[in-house]
Chains A and B, each alone.
Chain A
Amino acid sequence: DAKTTQPNSMESNEEEPVHLPCNHSTISGTDYIHWYRQLPSQGPEYVIHGLTSNVNNRMASLAIAEDRKSSTLILHRATLRDAAVYYCILRDQGAQKLVFGQGTRLTINP
């Protein structure tokens, strides 16, 4: 499985945008970039995924570099409820499993 690298922790303020980076220099052409987050004492939940183009949904945006070796999860206006561990995961189209790294622990200050 291709590896991803994320900062251990980040901090931001409520109602400000948050940019969570992820490096994946060994990504293959068939790897999709997935983001999940895990709120305290809960199971992970899906946030967003993409292959080559930038993606938007109701929770977040995903910006993918042109060479696909990095990506950024964007929370446009962070709330206290967005405090969680965010996992960037590469998933081959033929693979069933998700391989979780240690993720980025996001703290949101009021």
Chain B
Amino acid sequence: NAGVTQTPKFRILKIGQSMTLQCTQDMNHNYMYWYRQDPGMGLKLIYYSVGAGITDKGEVPNGYNVSRSTTEDFPLRLELAAPSQTSVYFCASHPRGWSNEQFFGPGTRLTVL
């Protein structure tokens, strides 16, 4: 298994541009999450999904959108990029039900100038 994969690894955006961060997992996990991590800080939850077609907001959802059309994929969309969205974005997943362990991807480093 490749686990949780994220693309791209790095991206620079101009203010007002849009982009989609891709996240895919091959473990057939129902639960998927998007976190952001600002420099020197812990991770904050943006959105999460408990299965295909079901998404919900986390702590910091403003400026982002998500969709979950398949079990494997959970893309994160930035519509109008702002400098405040400069961060490292991590996707994570775990199996159905309450689980002991979340599996994290390697992250996408996004800079908005």
- Give A contacts to B, CB under 8 Å: 34, 36, 41-46, 49, 87, 93-94, 96-103
Contacts and interface: CB of A to CB of B under 8 A. Distances in A.
Contacts of A102: 40-42
Interface of B: 4, 31, 33, 35, 40-45, 48, 50, 58, 90, 92, 98, 100-107
B104 A97 contact: no
A101 B41 CA distance: 8
A53 to B, nearest CB: 15
Contacts of B4: 43
A43 B98 contact: no
A100 B104 contact: no
A49 B100 contact: yes
Given A96-B31, A96-B48, A96-B50, A101 B42 contact: yes
A43 B48 contact: no
Contacts of B105: 43
Contacts of B107: 41-43
A94 B42 contact: no
Q: 5 closest pairs, A vs B, by CB?
A: A43-B104, A100-B42, A46-B101, A100-B43, A43-B90
B45 A97 contact: yes
B44 A100 contact: yes
Given A96-B31, A96-B50, A44 B44 contact: no
Given A96-B50, A97-B33, A103-B42, A46 B100 contact: yes
Given A49-B100, A96-B31, A102-B42, A44 B90 contact: yes
B102 to A, nearest CB: 6
Contacts of B35: 100
